[in-house]
Amino acid sequence: MTIRQPYVETSPPVSDEVRKTTCYMCACRCGIDVHLKSGKVSYIEGNRDHPVNKGVLCAKGAAGIKQITAPSRLHAPLRRVGPRGSGAFEEISWDEALALAVSWMKPLRETAPEKLAFFTGRDQSQSLTGFWAQGFGTPNYAAHGGFCSVNMAAAGIYTIGGAFWEFGQPDWELTKLFVMFGVAEDHDSNPIKIGLGRLKERGARVIGVNPIRTGYNAIADDWIGITPGTDGLLILALVHCLLEAGKVDLEYLSQWTNSAYLLDETEGATKGLFVRNAESQPFVIDRRTGMPASWDAKGVQPDLGAVWQGHRTVFQHLAARYLAAEYAPEAVASRVGVSALRIRQLAAELARVAFDEAIVVDREWTDFRGNVHASMVGRPVSFHAMRGISAHSNGFQTARALHLLQILLGAVETPGGYRLKPPYPKPMEAHPTPHFEVTPGKALSGPHLGYVRSPEQLALKADGSPARIDKAFSWENPFSAHGMMHMVIPNAHAGDPYRIDTMFLYMANMAWNSSMNTSAVMEMLTDKGEDGEYVIPRIIYSDAYASEMVAYADLILPDTTYLERHDCISMLDRPISEPGAAGDAIRWPVTEPDRDVRGFQSVLIDLGAKLGLPGFVDASGAALYRDYADYITQHQRKPGVGPLMGFRGNGEDVGRGAPNPGQIDAYIANGGFFQAHVPDEAAYFKPWNAAYQDWGVAMGFYETPQPYLFSVYAEPMRRFQLAAEGHGHVQPPEAMRGRVRAAMDPLPVWYAPFGDAAAEGFPLHALTQRPMHMYHSWGSQNAWLRQITGRNFLYVPTKVWVDQGFSDGDWARVTSPSGIITVPVAHMAALNENTVWTWNAIGKRKGAWGLDADAPEAVEGFLMNHLISELLPEQGDGMRWSNSDPVTGQAAWFDLRVRIERVDARTEALPQFGVLGNPGGAVQKSVKIFGKDFEKSLGAGGEGAA
């Protein structure tokens, strides 16, 4: 038959123009090509040249086009006119809005700067927001890291001078065995997926340690369905096996770690600290001479087995601890939910790949001691871990344990192992300590957040009470390097440690998915004192969309969407570096806002100028910067070093160089990002590699080379133990000595998550996971993404499913020690038998996010947060500690314990709250009342909100 078929235009024009910027449907920061047809965004795809995503996009990024047209977008500044939470607002002009904000803030700065608490969520402009808060002079500033994953960051910095999270990555090209602990998605969304793809391509082995077998763990060759909160035990059992068999990298330990330092054995104030020489430097015993030698002496061979005047090395203490029978697989198996045999098999596999399948990259390099190495020997075993480990109250120690395991295998910063991304590695000592002393009308003496080395550096007032509203850097959690955003509202409401006046929040949905005990938090935000005033007097909030939090603010500063503003993904903040290259990037307005909104950073800079904050005005008091774009190019943190490292000076300087007015255009021309590549000979062994250290100085990461040894033994922690034992002039309150003593163990330990204390009658662990295609609460406003997941179920393991006689379509009441929810259930077999879970932040408040009040997200969708308390049950002394890691204050989301019972099928999940209206929508200058029926619909009896 003759071929007759319709003509198809196979080469249609794709678009009029492509603008390259950075995605912000999540914090991964992939490069995007934004296609425009007659000025309108028509299509978004990945930028092939971009180091982060190499052309790919995730489901969110590819759906970005629906974000910038979402009906939830805020349209203009709003001032509250009805009661808080009722959501009654009136639209006001920017002049009015800024004047109002200044009238609230200025008096505070002049009298009591600490009464302004400025906390930020998902944003990535912490170097600006922190700088602003420092200029304002309040100690109460932090980003969201405290409820996110500070355990990862802090354990990493205190151990290897870098961390998991997004600060390093496996050597995807060379690793042969990759083990994931508690990872569902992480910030490196696309890089991890690309990496997993590479491993699969090369046939490398992937092992997933996770109670739930979805996503990354679904494609893992091997799944270890561990019992939540017990990873530390599993890891230390692996350490036990490796030591027992002598399968540890002794050369690596002696050369690159503090394993050969001597620990003071003399009873008293120095016990357990490093033995120091006259120059108060820790030293090592040189195997060649048997004599003390400086740790960084050329050719030194530190002796792991040395005993000096009765003082033994860290290595011997370590061996003594982990060789003990309590860490034998047989002793931990039942607790961990993994058979002893399986644990021993894993240890054997790690050892085999690390040592029998070692790889050699023949590339000469010189270490900081001046020793030249002919080649780079690598141990092709790599690990990644995230909140499955860090979101537990034993997360810091567990993360430390995992780093210890990596170190024993010699698999950090070696080929095939785990590699850090510039500006990391960086020793803890190179980080600032916390600054918090308040002087009215003056700036803080230094940055808020940092890494404490000893009790003297805690953020405590003279009377020993916490200096910060979130109690960060207090005895409750000495290493809270990211602050504790999850405690701000509860503490401010309780007036503990003191009362504040204005809470200034940015990009954090604190009235919903980012708070523990959400229902109570909503009450705290609306609670009034005897005087009839709000207990938290003023709340200013910047959001771009009609989130649940918007209704709880007094003043809304509406932000632009990510395609409508300048942003800076900076080396001073959270850059887009690769192990082999430093990288930073920008966003720029690829399309103009069609609403009366402004980029928050520009607004903040404007406020800074109006308040006359140092760093934002010149001597004459005139504003230093026009807007954020101007700040990005002109601002210098130290001479020659600014927010962007590329195209400085005449356009050729990298890292250091004078400000270049053409810098942003140069970035745009370059695809929106810039990369500076690490020299080949500096690619591995970075902390000890002279070539890397010199490169780091040239780049402006630090002023002088900063070589250091990995801290198998964390001496700063020992200092806190000593204080708890009664030494030194800064000591913990009596009631806390025991806790500090136990938590601050300088060698990794495992202790049961605090959640287990209240586990009686709550046999199940309850978890959440990130859906790969949703970003926290924002995904649901996206017309495409919400069709994929518009409601969530509680996934129940087979054992429980059968015991409870569940069947499809059933509902259950889920009870925790602090709350109750009633939700739809579904069966899952590939799940730890004592664990239930759901997708995070799918549940929405009725009417929020520009969705109809009967949207499934709000009707059947639910949050786990109602079950999680921000405080632990009362202690013996009636004191209540926060539900956080005792070392860092990291929110212990995953300590949650519950029980579930089948209930009659229903149509609505509980708890339910009043319907919010949409503060987005058409811009008209009129009072918007959208607090339709606002009384809480608390179901009868147990079924209501906690």
Q: List residues binding Mo ion (CB under 5 A).
A: 148
- Residue 578 and residue 31: Cα distance in Å, rounded? 14
Please, are residues 612 and 621 in contact by the beta-carbon 8 Å criterion? yes
542 binds ligand MGD (CB under 6 A): yes
What residues are paired with 78 via a beta bridge?
91, 556
Of 141, 132, 143, nearest to 114 by C-alpha is 141
- Taking the least distance from each CB to another protein, the nearer of 152 and 353 is 353
- Count of residues touching ligand MGD (by CB under 6 A): 60
- Residue 512 and residue 521: Cα distance in Å, rounded? 8
Of 203, 150, 153, nearest to 178 by C-alpha is 203
Interface pick for ligand MGD out of 53, 125, 129, 149 (rule CB under 6 A): 149
Q: Where are the alpha helices (DSSP H) in 112-230?
A: 126-136, 145-148, 150-160, 189-202, 215-219
CB of 673 to ligand SF4, least distance (A): 13
- Taking the least distance from each CB to ligand SF4, the nearer of 194 and 758 is 194
Please, are residues 864 and 896 in contact by the beta-carbon 8 Å criterion? yes
- Residue 370 CB burial class (10 angstroms; 0-12, 13-18, ≥19): exposed
- Taking the least distance from each CB to Mo ion, the nearer of 185 and 715 is 185
Interface pick for ligand MGD out of 559, 573, 745, 857 (rule CB under 6 A): 559
Interface pick for ligand MGD out of 815, 865, 884, 890 (rule CB under 6 A): 865
- Taking the least distance from each CB to ligand MGD, the nearer of 768 and 815 is 768
The phi and psi torsions of 117 (rounded to 5 degrees) equal -110, 120
Within 171-200, which residues bind ligand SF4 (CB under 6 A)? 189-190
CB of 573 to Mo ion, least distance (A): 15
- Taking the least distance from each CB to ligand MGD, the nearer of 182 and 817 is 182
- Residue 36 CB burial class (10 angstroms; 0-12, 13-18, ≥19): middle
Only segment of 27-35, 224-232, 452-460, 589-597 that touches ligand SF4 (CB under 6 A)? 27-35
CB of 726 to Mo ion, least distance (A): 38
- Taking the least distance from each CB to ligand MGD, the nearer of 599 and 687 is 599
CA end-to-end distance (rounded Å), the chain = 73
195 binds ligand MGD (CB under 6 A): no
> Which three-class secondary structure string do you get for 531-580?
CCCECCCEEEEECCECCHHHHHCCEECCCCCCCCCCEEECCCCCCCCECC
Q: Which residues contact 686 (CB under 8 A, 6 or more apart)?
A: 413, 419, 420, 425, 678, 692
53 binds ligand SF4 (CB under 6 A): yes
Q: Which residues contact 76 (CB under 8 A, 6 or more apart)?
A: 91, 92, 558, 595, 596, 597, 923
508 binds ligand MGD (CB under 6 A): yes
53 makes contact, choosing from ligand MGD, Mo ion, ligand SF4, none, with CB < 5 to 8 Å by partner type, with: ligand SF4
Within 830-859, which residues bind ligand MGD (CB under 6 A)? 840-841
Please, are residues 897 and 757 in contact by the beta-carbon 8 Å criterion? no
Q: What is the DSSP letter of 283?
A: E
Only segment of 4-12, 28-36, 83-91, 423-431 that touches ligand SF4 (CB under 6 A)? 28-36
820 makes contact, choosing from Mo ion, ligand SF4, ligand MGD, none, with CB < 5 to 8 Å by partner type, with: none
Query: Site mask, ligand MGD, residues 758-777, x = CB under 6 A?
Result: ---------xxxx-x-xxxx
- Taking the least distance from each CB to ligand SF4, the nearer of 159 and 190 is 190
Residues in the chain, overall count:
946
Q: How distant, in Å, are the alpha carbons of 329, 492, 674 from that of 340?
A: 5, 48, 49
Amino acid at 897: R
**Residue whose C-beta lies closest to ligand SF4:** 61
Of 368, 429, 426, 432, nearest to 638 by C-alpha is 432
Please, are residues 141 and 119 in contact by the beta-carbon 8 Å criterion? yes
Only segment of 221-229, 355-363, 589-597, 685-693 that touches ligand MGD (CB under 6 A)? 221-229
29 makes contact, choosing from another protein, ligand MGD, ligand SF4, none, with CB < 5 to 8 Å by partner type, with: ligand SF4
- Taking the least distance from each CB to another protein, the nearer of 266 and 798 is 798
- Taking the least distance from each CB to ligand MGD, the nearer of 514 and 663 is 514
648 makes contact, choosing from another protein, ligand MGD, Mo ion, none, with CB < 5 to 8 Å by partner type, with: none
- Taking the least distance from each CB to another protein, the nearer of 79 and 287 is 287
Segment (H or E) for 161: none
Interface pick for ligand MGD out of 119, 315, 322, 545 (rule CB under 6 A): 545
261 binds ligand MGD (CB under 6 A): no
Radius of gyration (C-alpha) of the chain in whole angstroms: 27
- Residue 814 CB burial class (10 angstroms; 0-12, 13-18, ≥19): buried
Helix axis angle for 314-322 and 231-244, nearest 10°, is 110
509 binds ligand SF4 (CB under 6 A): no
673 makes contact, choosing from ligand SF4, ligand MGD, Mo ion, none, with CB < 5 to 8 Å by partner type, with: none
* Concatenated DSSP letters of 812-831: EEEEETTEEEEEEEEEESSB
CB of 746 to another protein, least distance (A): 19
Please, are residues 147 and 485 in contact by the beta-carbon 8 Å criterion? yes
Segment (H or E) for 938: none
Which SS3 state, helix, strand or coil, does residue 839 take? strand
Only segment of 226-234, 328-336, 366-374, 934-942 that touches ligand MGD (CB under 6 A)? 226-234
25 makes contact, choosing from ligand MGD, ligand SF4, another protein, none, with CB < 5 to 8 Å by partner type, with: ligand SF4
791 makes contact, choosing from Mo ion, ligand SF4, another protein, none, with CB < 5 to 8 Å by partner type, with: another protein
Interface pick for ligand MGD out of 547, 602, 660, 816 (rule CB under 6 A): 547
Torsion over CA: 328, 379, 221, 897 (sign)? positive
354 makes contact, choosing from another protein, Mo ion, ligand MGD, none, with CB < 5 to 8 Å by partner type, with: none
- Residue 734 CB burial class (10 angstroms; 0-12, 13-18, ≥19): exposed
Query: Site mask, ligand MGD, residues 154-193, x = CB under 6 A?
Result: ---------------------------xxxxxxx-x----
- Residue 733 and residue 722: Cα distance in Å, rounded? 13
CB of 187 to ligand MGD, least distance (A): 5
CB of 55 to ligand SF4, least distance (A): 11
Torsion over CA: 662, 667, 668, 669 (sign)? positive
What are the strands, taking DSSP E only, across 858-922? 897-903
- Taking the least distance from each CB to ligand MGD, the nearer of 543 and 860 is 543
627 makes contact, choosing from ligand MGD, ligand SF4, another protein, none, with CB < 5 to 8 Å by partner type, with: none
Please, are residues 912 and 499 in contact by the beta-carbon 8 Å criterion? no
- Taking the least distance from each CB to ligand MGD, the nearer of 327 and 775 is 775
- Count of residues touching ligand SF4 (by CB under 6 A): 13
CB of 323 to another protein, least distance (A): 6
658 makes contact, choosing from another protein, ligand MGD, Mo ion, none, with CB < 5 to 8 Å by partner type, with: none
23 binds ligand SF4 (CB under 6 A): yes
Kindly list the residues in this chain that would bind ligand SF4 in the complex (CB under 6 A): 23, 25-26, 28-30, 53, 57-58, 60-61, 189-190
The site for ligand MGD (CB under 6 A) is made up of 26-27, 121-122, 144, 147-149, 181-187, 189, 209-212, 226, 228-229, 231, 386-388, 392, 506-509, 513-514, 542-545, 547, 549, 559, 561-562, 600, 767-770, 772, 774-778, 840-841, 864-865, 893-894
